Amino acid sequence: MAWRRAARGKRGTAGVARLEHRLADNLLDLQHDLLSGRYRPGEYVSFCIAEPKRRLISAAPFRDRVVHHALCRIIEPRFERLFIAESYANRRGKGTHAAVDRFQAYCERYRYALRADVVQHFPSIDHEILLQILSRQIPEHDVMELVERIVDSGRGVLDGEYRMSWFPGDDLFAICRPRGLPIGNLTSQFWSNCYLHPFDQFVKRELGCSAYLRYVDDFALFSDDKAQLWAWKRAIVERLERFRLRIHESRTQVVPAHCGVPWLGFVVFPDHRRIKGRKVRTARCHLWARLRAYHAGEISFAELDAGIQGWISHARHADSWKLRELILGDLVILPALAANGAKAGLCCENKDRGGASRPKAASRRPPVSSGPDFQ
């Protein structure tokens, strides 16, 4: 079961192929290594992505990803029953759009919002603190030993992304504390929720904030009392120091909910929501790049249409009918062979701000899509 989940969407890659060749033997060898205590994680392969912002992604070998899935199947239910309902990241039945829906519901009910995010969240996660939190729910010595090995395998992977922060009581050796969870691991996403779970409990129980939600390292508090939110901000800064975390204090301000609050790629108002301008520009460049790839014969129409429908599905969660009409109205989709031959319908004379080629106005046609309409 664990290898099937790890291989989902990755069949045909070299790592999956190596494991699937003599699959039963390889899985039995992996099981023997785990039971005997000889299992050791492999080396990460790191690469950078630029969108939605620059991040260093570290991919574990496929063999290790099978272990991650098996481990999470064992320990995840123990923590899932403890998590607050308002934690929306990397959980079944939650997700980005559910978090935006709840955020807007709070905007309708409360006058003010305090939105914050953690500085260098994954590079800052302290291994000692994380293992203390995990050990409270993992009494088995062998399982905890495996957890420690996986956590330790991420030591130093994100050192280049971390800027040292000093906290009360630190000495010069604090700079040597093991820290950082590789972005890209299934375990890292899950352990991020575990790491901030005590903080969630602090906000809900000790501060008494009933209108609170979190998505990974982004969180928001709501109230009708502006002074109360400022007092909560000071308490939050102090409490996060216990986890060796900081927030972007200059960007963490109390704002009126009716003015629109940025949240997970949207600007949310009490009665409507918009897609952030940066997200629109990125989506437009991405769609034009996919269109050029299709006309060059690099991708199939099904792949092009999947990209278009994926963006439409996301944009529908905002009030974006005119925006979708504007962006999709310029996408003239021609048969790949015709496009390769005469380049008919695509003209590179006009460049949009993202550098993507635009067709002549005379050749504009209604957008073509095999999926549902754009409403």
Q: Which residue has the higher pLDDT, 16 or 182?
A: 182
pLDDT of amino acid 111: 97
CA-CA distance, 215 to 334, in Å (whole number)?
40
CA-CA distance, 184 to 81, in Å (whole number)?
24
pLDDT at 7 over 60: yes
Residue 2: both structure tokens together: 């664990």
- Give the bridge partners for 351, in sequence order: 357
CA-CA distance, 239 to 218, in Å (whole number)?
16
Phi and psi at 197, nearest 5°, equal: -60, -45
pLDDT of amino acid 276: 93
Cα of first residue to Cα of last residue in the chain, in angstroms, is 38
DSSP assignment string, 235-270: HHHHHHHTTT--B-GGG--EEEGGG-EEETTEEE-S
The residue-averaged pLDDT of 45-71 equals: 86
pLDDT of amino acid 333: 81
pLDDT at 367 over 70: no
The residue-averaged pLDDT of 223-252 equals: 96
pLDDT in tens, 110-141: 999 999 999 999 999 999 999 999 999 999 99
pLDDT at 232 over 90: yes
CA-CA distance, 251 to 306, in Å (whole number)?
36
pLDDT of amino acid 21: 80
pLDDT at 204 over 70: yes
pLDDT of amino acid 47: 86
* CA neighbor of 56 nearest in space, from 141, 144, 120: 120
185 φψ region: left (φ > 0), alpha (ψ -120 to 50), beta (else):
beta
pLDDT of amino acid 356: 44
CB-CB contact of 132 with 191 (8 Å):
no
Q: Which DSSP letter does residue 189 get?
A: H
Q: Which of 6-15, 114-123, 227-236, 327-336 has the lowest mean pLDDT?
A: 6-15
pLDDT of amino acid 46: 86
pLDDT at 101 over 90: yes
Phi and psi at 264, nearest 5°, equal: 55, 45
The residue-averaged pLDDT of 75-96 equals: 94
pLDDT at 370 over 80: no
The amino acid present at 91, given as its one-letter code, is R
pLDDT of amino acid 52: 67
pLDDT in tens, 268-318: 999 999 999 999 999 999 999 999 999 988 999 999 999 999 999 999 999
Average pLDDT score, the chain: 86
pLDDT at 53 over 90: no
pLDDT of amino acid 198: 97
Q: What's the pLDDT band for 147 if we cut at 50, 70, 90?
A: very high
Q: Which DSSP letter does residue 54 get?
A: -
Q: Which of 123-127, 229-233, 297-301, 333-337 has the lowest mean pLDDT?
A: 333-337
Cis peptide leading into 367, omega within 30 of 0?
no
The residue-averaged pLDDT of 256-261 equals: 96
pLDDT of amino acid 336: 57
Q: Which residue has the higher pLDDT, 350 or 259?
A: 259
CA-CA distance, 320 to 99, in Å (whole number)?
19
Q: Is the dihedral of CA 24, 25, 30, 31 positive or negative?
A: positive
pLDDT of amino acid 348: 41
